[in-house]
Amino acid sequence: MNSEGVVQSLLNRVDACESSVGAWAWLDRNLALQRARELDANPVRGILHGLPIGIKDVIDTADMPTEYNSPIYAGYRPTKDAEVVSRLRAAGAIVLGKTVTTEFAFMAPGRTRNPHNLACTPGGSSSGSAAAVAAGMVPVALTTQTGGSTIRPAAFCGVIGYKPAFNRYPTAGLKYLAPSLDTIGLHAQNLDDLAHVSAVLAGDEPTTMPLAPIMPPRLALVRTHHDHLAEPHAMQRLEHVAEVLAAAGAQVRELKLPALFADIDPLHRVIMSAEVAQSFNTEWLGERNRLSPELLDFIEQGRRHSVSAVADARVRVQSGKDLYQVMLLDRELLLTLPAPGEAPVGLTSTGNASFNRLWTLLGLACITLPAGRGVRGLPLGVQLVGGGRSDARSEQTFIANARWCQAALASI
């Protein structure tokens, strides 16, 4: 099928389910079809030639509004694309539209519903990206994660979610929430598209392909201080996944996180709130009455933290990063939950990020893989946590190991 045919088929899918799911903040059908026709009429543009992609609406696009799900920026048009969007277009991707985000990628939800059960949250803050991919409206969508905004929605919606190591992709043109934590990521239907898009976003050679794993991976089934928050069936599924992977040849051991990680976990909120207060100083001073109560409260928390308290938090977090590097065996990945369980019923909250914040704080690469369904019939996932290196080789190996695990879990 040519690019125009692919785009038209996706637009037909949008027509069938967008009115109930509400994944898109902006979608320009004519622009997407025009771009597809231009690609069809010319030689192959790049490794992503003709691939439709959604862009989370906190990432700038010059030809579409970027509104951050905030009334403050209704109708706002950036003057240029974010760097990641420019790279996608240069590689031949078709920007289908902008996906719904929570307000400024924080907590106040948008209108998006979970395609698997419209009464349930799709997760957040990358709500529209997860729902659009899950509903088959687009194969890949850009996300962000400052706490759990890529990994958790992927688990709730049953898609692959990828938060690369910190600084893997450029963030110029992103509306920053907390710059030392903000990470652009991906939701995708398959690992091949994810690997290709990631290579383009990172500026790697266009022929970069994921490495086939030389041997089954080493995995540490991690026990964390948040395990008591998990739904029993989610924890049972995680343990079953570990058994399946071990039976397929993976080396699996159990690992209890050292107490240091429980101690530094709350520092995520200290650092994040302080940076949010800085990032939104203009809005707080001039448009305070148009910010959600949740964001206002968080900004006020951040303004109360002293410079020395934030600096001390960063020092303590670095000790956690150092410990992580010596805690694992060579080439070992963590195996853990991406969320407490199935997507919660209701649309006033996007769920609990407790199973995500620590890994974001440490700047680590994470992938969510679908792992069957729970007792309510909604998707469950598992999370692989890698290292903090942002080079191409490390990413290729990480994705290759995820591919091995996905194949082993095909029957779940």
Helix (H) or strand (E) holding 250: none
* Whole-number Cα distances in Å, 151 to 22, 41, 180, 184, 290: 20, 37, 18, 12, 29
E-assigned strand segments in 128-225: 140-145, 160-163, 183-188, 218-223
222: β partners: 255
Query: Is there a catalytic annotation at residue 411?
Result: no
Cβ atoms within 10 Å, residue 78: 17
Give the DSSP H or E segment for 278: helix 267-279
Question: Can you tell me which residue has the tokens 């191409």?
Answer: 392
User: Do the strands 160-163 and 366-373 form a parallel or antiparallel pair, or are they unpaired?
Assistant: antiparallel
Task: Please state, as a whole number, how many other Cβ atoms lie within 10 Å of the Cβ of residue 46.
Answer: 18
Helix, strand or coil, per DSSP, at residue 101:
coil
Catalytic choice (3, 70, 125, 127): 125
DSSP-based helix, strand, coil % in the chain, nearest 5 = 40, 15, 40
Q: How far apart, in whole angstroms, are the C-alpha atoms of residue 216 and residue 228?
A: 30
256 is catalytic: no
Q: Among 70, 127, 149, 279, which one carries the catalytic annotation? A: 149
- Exactly one of 3, 56, 126, 354 is catalytic; which is it? 56
- Residues with a catalytic annotation lie at 56, 125, 149
